[in-house]
Amino acid sequence: MTPSTVVVGVDSSTQSTKAAFTDAATGRLLALGRAPHRVTGGAGARESDPEEWWRALGEAVAAGLRESGVAASAVTGIAVAGQQHGLVVLDGAGRPLRPALLWNDTRSAPQAAALTRALGGPAAWTERTGSVPVASMTAAKWQWLREHEPYAAESAAAVRLPHDFLTERLAGVAATDPGDASGTCWYSTATGAYDAEILGLVGLDERLLPPVAPTGATRVGSLTRAAARRLGLPEGIAVAAGTGDNMAAAVGLGLGGAGLLDHPVLSLGTSGTVFAATRTRPASPALAGFASADGGYLPLACTLNCTLAVDKVAALLGLDREDAAPGGEAVLLPYLDGERTPDLPAASGVLTGLRHATTPRQLLGAAYEGAAVTVLRALDELVRACGLD
């Protein structure tokens, strides 16, 4: 039976975009379109051209339409969940002034440390925003831009998160949501608004930021004519505020609201992430104290090195991911891109325990084990800090 009402959920992640076509009446997944985009940079730099996200969104939607076989006229709404923390600076016409600084760009670690001190230390930040600045957070990246590329910062007519950039391209209006906004370190989970003192600290005019849609808002605008032509979808369909990727994952897993509370979740991808939906605002400097997409909170710990570290080791050894064997005595600390949990942005990988009998497959296994141990340590911190044991 051909569905009469279809919605499109977009995941714009670090390395690709996916567009899920879902039957709104039954929740059945009809198709999943995909398209890649590039990450560039070395020595701590990780950047992407936001225009590639827009191109990939169009390609993923087109692929989903083909795979699903549904008529474009059946699509009634679209929303974007995106990688958190990335910094997008736009000119007056909505064009990127430079490539976006991604969440795993660690160059802003010195700025994060300086901001932490400037406001009075980790406890002061946790009390106001729920999170302590680390290199991943948008406020640190904005401060890095001000110090290293002042012309780009001074020329910015708008400052956006990755999912905000795409939502604005779809609807023609600026909007964000509390979940993704809480990953900036200039939005207060205590007050549910941008923090004026912190914006003053980083020299950012609030008028450059998108309005924060109320939690639970289902629509911030309608698909514009230009976006409809680009995506091959009907003009005027609903565009929702969307949220950050972790907040969207929590919704998809049934966490928060009438679903599971205080139930830890472990997610493995480019990064390793652990989080839980809570009704109590967390206060641990070791965690990111995000807002959830349903009015609650989403305490979270994230490691930078998960599948990326495993894939790098596999590539160096000429192996496939599946070729691993138990590491034996070999131990690999997989901090290839520095690390976020624990906060060690300048760290590097370490390999120890080599023997004459060590095999390439064991080295790959050690990479898996190192990534797993790092994520499990983060899970232990989440359980301890939130009293989930």
Active-site positions read 245
How many CB atoms neighbour CB 344 within 10 A?
A: 15
Nearest to 75 by CA among 13, 30, 36, 34: 30
User: Euclidean distance between the first and final Cα of the chain, in Å?
Assistant: 46
Query: 245 near 13, Cβ under 8 Å?
Result: yes
3-state secondary structure of 203: coil
Task: Please count the CA atoms within 13 angstroms of the CA of 373 that sit on its side-chain side.
Answer: 12
In the block, tokens 């959920």 appear at 9
3-state secondary structure of 350: strand
3-state secondary structure of 85: coil
- Give dist(CA 212, CA 254) in Å, integer: 23
Q: String of b and e for 72-110 (b: at least 16 CB within 10 Å)?
A: eebbbbbbbbbbbbbbbbbeeeeebbbbbbbbbbbbbbe
Token pair of 268 as six digits: 């493995």
- Give dist(CA 273, CA 314) in Å, integer: 22
- Output Rg (C-alpha) for the chain, integer angstroms: 21
Token pair of 90 as six digits: 């736009």
- Give dist(CA 89, CA 72) in Å, integer: 32
